[in-house]
């Protein structure tokens, strides 16, 4: 996000976003017809942008990228577990997002892709049901919005408030490093005491 990665959500583990149905009716209709696509968005990566090394913790899906308007250049790529893929218009790639991956666009042109989470094929029925339940219960709670009028999932609401506390803690740490660490250890010891006493 720090270097300009942006998304427009089409759907997120449920129905399509209202803004997407209004602005992208054909795309949302096509996606609704593919039951294994659980989440979808348009994602841009501007010139000079980098996404840091990370892995996504949810192993219930595979990630699919379809190049829509890309630089068609090896300077715009994603690296998944040491394998590099450069986006090209009209070409798709599927990868396991639980592997460490990062992306970079060192070109002077923006990259636009269709980005989808596709249900991981699981052959053991109870595990498949558990994966679908987790998607509905937990991943839906991570929903975010395109417009202020659209709902936000409970996890995103929690992390918004958590992030506000984190920003205040960072500001306090910048003012008083010693005070920050004293307060941090008092809180940790207090929580441990509440759990074990």
Q: For residue range 30-52, list pLDDT tens digits in order.
A: 999 999 999 999 999 999 999 98
Strand order in the sheet with 83-86: 50-54, 101-105, 76-80, 83-86
Q: pTM (2 decimals)?
A: 0.78
Q: How far apart are the first and last CA of the chain?
A: 42
pLDDT (tens digit per residue) in 120-133: 999 999 999 999 89
Least Cα distance to 139 among 16, 35, 14, 34 occurs for 14
Structural contact between residues 77 and 112, judged by C-beta atoms closer than 8 angstroms:
no
> Any residues with CB less than 8 A from the CB of 59 and at least 6 apart, and which?
96, 98, 120
Q: Is 62 exposed, middle or buried (0-12, 13-18, 19+ CB in 10 A)?
A: middle
Per-residue pLDDT tens over the stretch 71-110: 999 999 999 999 999 999 999 999 999 999 999 999 999 9
């Amino acid at each position: 996000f720090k270097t300009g990665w942006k998304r427009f959500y089409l759907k997120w583990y449920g129905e399509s976003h209202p803004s997407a149905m209004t602005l992208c009716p054909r795309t949302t209709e096509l996606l609704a017809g593919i039951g294994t696509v659980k989440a979808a968005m348009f994602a841009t990566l501007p010139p000079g942008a980098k996404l840091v090394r990370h892995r996504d913790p949810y192993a219930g899906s595979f990630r699919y990228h379809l190049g829509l308007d890309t630089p068609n250049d090896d300077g715009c790529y994603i690296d998944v577990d040491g394998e590099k893929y450069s986006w090209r218009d009209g070409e798709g790639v599927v990868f396991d997002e639980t592997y460490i991956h990062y992306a970079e666009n060192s070109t002077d042109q923006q990259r636009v892709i269709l980005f989808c989470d596709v249900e991981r094929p699981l052959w053991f029925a109870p595990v498949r049901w558990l994966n679908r339940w987790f998607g509905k219960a937990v991943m839906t709670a991570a929903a975010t919005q395109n417009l202020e009028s659209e709902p936000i999932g409970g996890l995103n609401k929690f992390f918004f408030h958590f992030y506000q506390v984190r920003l205040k803690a960072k500001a306090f740490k910048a003012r008083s490093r010693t005070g920050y660490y004293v307060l941090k250890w008092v809180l940790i010891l207090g929580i441990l005491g509440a759990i074990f006493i």
